């Protein structure tokens, strides 16, 4: 009996340091948006395994498994729709089992949805053609799944980060994207990594609701929201300059201003519980921090003064936050193919 075929892709999630929200197309149509982010060694995994016939899709994170006779039978119904959309875009020949899982909490604000799309599409491209998609093409396709197939609001920074990896400065102008991997001075990446403390607050975030609220305020011409978005673009440019100059303290100040601006976008951006975590982190030696992604819950990233990261982690654990140990991941989505014994 021939060996079963198996393809596995791992795609990193990202921490956004500055400029988030300005990658959304409606907010960067007239003037370019800018984002500074980095990927970490926490991943979303997509595994494809051949089967005699039919299709099964499974999310281990959500404990959902769905069978179908073929990809043509997959219907969007609120259950694993992103996986269904990927299979409908890149339908495989023959039977297939698709399984996904991640090593970060669901609704973390770390771009897990985008990383899932990137991982699944990268695996399917390898399955179909035996060759990877170029990272930018992979990012655009993953973004299109969410925006065009599923009607999900959001920008493209998550998809580009997951597909490309590393510490990046991205510029968004309408549909156009330029992504630059930053050439840091020797030791700066290590200093940034040792300063970074990442936690999960223990509560999910409603990114869709927050996106709708910010979009509605922007279209209504609310000056507070429009001014905050324009300043976020400038803060991301400043953060890039501080990072390239090797000035970690100035970078932290930019991250702190970014968080203040985020909170002007929507009243649900922070909560009393998140505010308490910020207070605990600052007392222990954190310079600044910000909620990741849309905010309102999920993960928070802090930048700490030299030698203070361990104290900050202890203080946040005492405040009942979950500390996520992570290092900077320089690589984007990676695919491997191995034969596995047939059942």
Domains defined along the chain, listed by start? 4-182+329-340 (3.30.230.10), 188-324 (3.30.70.890)
Distance, in Å, from the CA atom of 67 to the CA atom of 111, rounded to the nearest integer, reads 27
Taking the alpha carbons of 318, 324, 325, 330 in that order, is the dihedral positive or negative?
A: negative
Q: Hunting for tokens 């403390």 — which residue is that?
A: 197
How distant, in Å, are the alpha carbons of 3, 196, 197, 269 from that of 320? 47, 18, 15, 20
Instruction: Answer whether residue 343 shows pLDDT above 50.
Output: no
Mean pLDDT in residue range 180-191: 94
Distance, in Å, from the CA atom of 136 to the CA atom of 142, rounded to the nearest integer, reads 10
**Can you give the three-state secondary structure of 93-115, one letter per residue?**
CCEEEEEEEECCCCCCCCCHHHH
Cβ-based neighbours of 327, under 8 Å, separated by 6 or more: 40, 41, 193
Confidence of residue 296 (pLDDT cuts 50, 70, 90): confident
Q: What is the DSSP letter of 341?
A: -
User: Which among 271, 117, 277 has a CA at the least distance from the CA of 205?
Assistant: 271
Q: Which residues of 69-85 are buried (b: 16+ CB within 10 A; e: fewer)?
A: eebeebeeeeebbbbbb
Distance, in Å, from the CA atom of 261 to the CA atom of 215, rounded to the nearest integer, reads 15
Judged on CB neighbours under 10 Å (0-12, 13-18, 19+), 66 is middle
Give 17-31 pLDDT, tens digit per residue.
999 999 999 999 999
Mean pLDDT in residue range 4-9: 93
**Would you state the pLDDT for residue 70?**
83
3-state secondary structure of 286: strand
Do residues 226 and 21 lie in contact, with contact meaning Cβ atoms separated by under 8 Å? Answer: no
> Chain-wide mean pLDDT for the chain?
93
User: Which among 55, 192, 23, 72 has a CA at the least distance from the CA of 120?
Assistant: 55
Could you give the percent of the chain with pLDDT greater than 70?
97
Give 65-115 pLDDT, tens digit per residue.
999 888 888 999 999 999 999 999 999 988 999 999 999 988 899 999 999
Confidence of residue 132 (pLDDT cuts 50, 70, 90): confident
User: Which among 62, 23, 328 has a CA at the least distance from the CA of 173?
Assistant: 23
């Amino acid at each position: 009996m021939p060996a079963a075929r198996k393809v596995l892709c791992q795609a990193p999630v990202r921490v956004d340091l500055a400029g988030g929200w300005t990658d959304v197309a409606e907010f960067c149509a007239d003037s370019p948006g800018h984002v500074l982010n980095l990927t970490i060694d926490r991943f979303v995994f997509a595994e494809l395994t051949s089967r005699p016939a039919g299709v099964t899709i499974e999310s281990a994170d959500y404990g959902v498994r769905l069978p179908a006779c073929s990809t043509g039978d997959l219907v969007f119904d609120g259950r694993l729709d992103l996986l269904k959309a990927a299979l409908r875009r890149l339908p495989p020949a023959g039977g297939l089992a698709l399984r996904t899982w991640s090593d970060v909490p669901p609704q973390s604000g770390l771009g897990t949805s985008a990383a899932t799309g990137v991982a699944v599409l990268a695996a399917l491209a390898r399955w179909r053609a035996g060759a990877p998609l170029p990272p930018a093409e992979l990012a655009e396709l993953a973004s299109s799944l969410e925006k065009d197939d599923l009607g999900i609001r959001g920008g493209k920074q998550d998809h580009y980060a997951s597909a490309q990896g590393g510490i990046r400065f991205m510029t968004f102008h309408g549909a156009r994207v330029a992504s630059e991997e930053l050439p840091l001075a020797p030791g700066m990446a290590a200093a940034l990594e040792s300063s970074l403390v990442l936690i999960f607050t223990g509560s999910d975030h409603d990114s869709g609701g927050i996106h709708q609220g910010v979009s509605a305020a922007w279209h209504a011409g609310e000056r507070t929201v429009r001014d905050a978005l324009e300043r976020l673009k400038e803060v991301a440019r400043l953060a890039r300059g501080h990072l390239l100059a090797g000035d970690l303290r100035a970078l932290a100040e930019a991250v702190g201003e970014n968080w203040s601006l985020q909170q002007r976008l929507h009243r649900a951006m922070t909560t009393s519980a998140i505010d308490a975590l910020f207070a605990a982190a600052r007392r222990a030696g954190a310079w600044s921090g910000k909620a990741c992604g849309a905010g309102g819950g999920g993960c928070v990233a802090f930048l700490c003064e030299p030698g203070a990261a361990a104290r900050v982690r202890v203080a946040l654990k005492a405040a009942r936050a979950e500390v996520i140990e992570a290092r900077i991941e320089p690589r984007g989505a990676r695919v491997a193919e191995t034969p596995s014994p047939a059942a």
